[in-house]
Structure 1
C-alpha cells in the first residue's frame, strides 16, 4: 500500500472502534453476505450455504423462519449490538437475538497502525488492524499480579499498541482501494505464546515461587477465555471492516509455502500453519491458483515456483 492511502484510511477511521463479539457471530454474518433477500430453506440446503444452517446462532433463526429465511433477519442477529436500529424484525430474528443476548459477550476494540517493516509481499506498507483485549482482561492482570509483566508479553518489533488496551492480536493488510481487493498478509498473536514462555522460564528458575503460581493461573485463564477464539475474532473483525467500511468484494490470504516465499521468510520460526489453513477454510475462503490483481509479474512468478503445478497458491473470499 501507499503511505498516503493508509494515512487517508486512518483519518477516516476513529482511533479506536468497539468490536463486541458473541459466540458464533461469524456464522450469521457470513451467511447474510452470500444469500439472497429471501431463500427457501429447501434451496439453502442444496447450496454451499447449507454449512451454516446448523450453526449455533443460525439454527434458531432457521427453526423460526417458517421455511423461508430472510436476509434481513440473519443480518439483525449478526449485528445484534445494533439490531434495534434495523427495524421490522420478524419472529426468526427475534428468536436469534434471544440466543445471542443470552450468550457471553466480550467487548474487544480495534485500533489501527502502519507497518513498514519486513515480510510484506510488495515490499511496501501495510495497514495494521489491532485487536485489543476486552475490558475484563484488566481484572485478570490485577488478580494474578501481571501488570508489571505486560511489556514482556509483547514484542516492540511487532505492530502492537503502545498505549491503551494491550494487543491480543493484529492483522496486516495490503488493501487496493481502487480495485476493491485486499490481501491479508498476516494474522498473529504474541500474548498467549509469550505468557507460556514466561511460565516455562519460571518453572526452570523458580519452580516453587509465588510468581510461577500466579503466572500459571493467569495463563490458564487466558487459555480458557481467548485461545480458541482470538483468531476467529480477528478474522471476523477484519472482514466486517473491509466489507462494511471499504466495500471490498475480494479478500485474499496467503497459503503457507508460497506466502513465506513472497514475504521473504527464509529463516526463523515460520507462522503457524493453522492460521493459513484452518482459519481461512472456516470462513469460507476457497483455494485458488489465481492471484490478487495488485501483484506484479515478479511476485506471480515467485508464487508459482513455490508450489507444484496442480497446487493452489492463495485463498480467496468473494462477497
Structure 2
C-alpha cells in the first residue's frame, strides 16, 4: 500500500487507547461470533470451515448456555473468563522503499499492528530487570512501538480498502526470544550476566521469565493473530484476509538466510481456520511487471480466512 494510505488509516483511528483483552482460545469465540452474526443453527457451523472450533471448551460452554436456540454473536461474545491478559494496540508503518530488503510482497508500505504489554507486566518488569535507557529485550530495527510502550509482538499488513482484502505479511516477536535467551544464559551463572548491554541479576531474570512473562509466552502468537483479525474486521471492515504460506511467503518476499519459524505459517493459521488456496489478493497483480515475478505469483499459494457477508 502507499504511504499516504497507511498514514490516513493511522490518523483515523485512536492512537494508544485501544485495549485488547485475550485469554486462551478467545479466537475461537471471536471467529464463531463473526460467522453466526444475527443467527445460525449448530448444523450450519458443523458443515462450515469453522466446525473444528466446536471442540474448544469455551465454545462448548457457550453452546451449552445457548441451549437449543438459534446461535447469535451475543452467545459467543458473552463467554468471558474471570481472568484475561490486557494488551494495548498501536499502529505504525514499515517500509524503506526497498521491497525485498523489507521482506514485502509488493513495493510500498506495510501497516504495522503492535501488541503492547500493559502495566500489569511493565511494573514487575521494571522492578526485576531494571533497565536504564536501553531495554535488553527490544530490537529497535524492527517495527515496535515508539510511543513509550513495550511491544510484545507485531503483525505487518498489506491491504486495499477498495477491494476489502488484506494480506498478513508476517507475525513476529523479539521480546520473548531475547528473554528466553537471557534465561538460558542465567541458568549457567550464579550471580549476574551481561545481556545485550545490560547487567541483569540471575535470580531476577529467572523470576521474570518464569512468572511474569510465562502467560505471554503461552499466548502471544494466538493473541497477535486474533488482534490482527479483530482489527481488520472491526476497525477497517475487511472480511477477506490472506496469509502467506511458509513456502510462498519466503519466495515472494525473497527471504534469504534464516527463515521465520515454520509454525507461524502452518500450525497457527490452520488453528484459525485459514484454508490454502490458489486465490491471491487482487492488489498484488497490478504491481507485477517482471515476467519472472508474474510466474512466481501465478504459482504461489496463500491461506485465506473469509466471511461471505
Query: Secondary structure of 2:136's match?
Result: helix
Residue 304 of structure 2 corresponds to residue 316 of structure 1: yes
> 1:100-249 residue pairs with structure 2 within 5 A?
100-102=80-82, 104-117=83-96, 118-148=102-132, 151-202=135-186, 207-210=189-192, 211-249=201-239
Quote the residue 1:38 is aligned against: 39
Question: Relative contact order (C-alpha < 8 Å, sep 6+): which is higher?
Answer: 2
RMSD of aligned alpha carbons: 2.1
Quote the residue 2:195 is aligned against: none
Unaligned runs of 5+ in 2: 97-101, 193-200
**Could you tell me the TM-score, scaled by structure 2's length?**
0.86
Query: Secondary structure of 1:187's match?
Result: strand
The answer (yes or no) to whether the contact 1:38–1:68 under 8 Å persists in 2 is no
**Could you tell me the TM-score, scaled by structure 1's length?**
0.83
Quote the residue 2:25 is aligned against: 24
Quote the residue 2:196 is aligned against: none
The Cα shift of 1:47 comes to 4.2
CA distance in 2, matches of 1:161, 1:49: 33
The Cα shift of 1:177 comes to 1.0
After superposition, the C-alpha distances for 1:15-42 in whole angstroms (9 at most, x for unaligned) are: 1111122332211210122226333334
The Cα shift of 1:289 comes to 1.6
Unaligned runs of 5+ in 1: 78-95, 306-311
CA distance in 1, matches of 2:26, 2:149: 23
CA distance in 1, matches of 2:185, 2:161: 45
The answer (yes or no) to whether the contact 1:29–1:74 under 8 Å persists in 2 is no
Residue-pair matches, total: 288
CA distance in 2, matches of 1:202, 1:72: 47
CA distance in 2, matches of 1:171, 1:195: 20
The answer (yes or no) to whether the contact 2:244–2:302 under 8 Å persists in 1 is yes
The answer (yes or no) to whether the contact 1:27–1:52 under 8 Å persists in 2 is yes
Quote the residue 2:59 is aligned against: 58
Match of 1:302 among 274, 286, 296: 296
Go from structure 1 to structure 2 and tell me whether the alpha carbon gap of 1:55 and 1:150 turns closer, same or farther (over 3 Å shift). farther
Quote the residue 2:256 is aligned against: 266
CA distance in 1, matches of 2:168, 2:109: 13
Go from structure 1 to structure 2 and tell me whether the alpha carbon gap of 1:272 and 1:66 turns closer, same or farther (over 3 Å shift). same
CA distance in 2, matches of 1:293, 1:68: 39
The Cα shift of 1:228 comes to 1.8
Query: Secondary structure of 2:168's match?
Result: strand
The Cα shift of 1:218 comes to 1.6
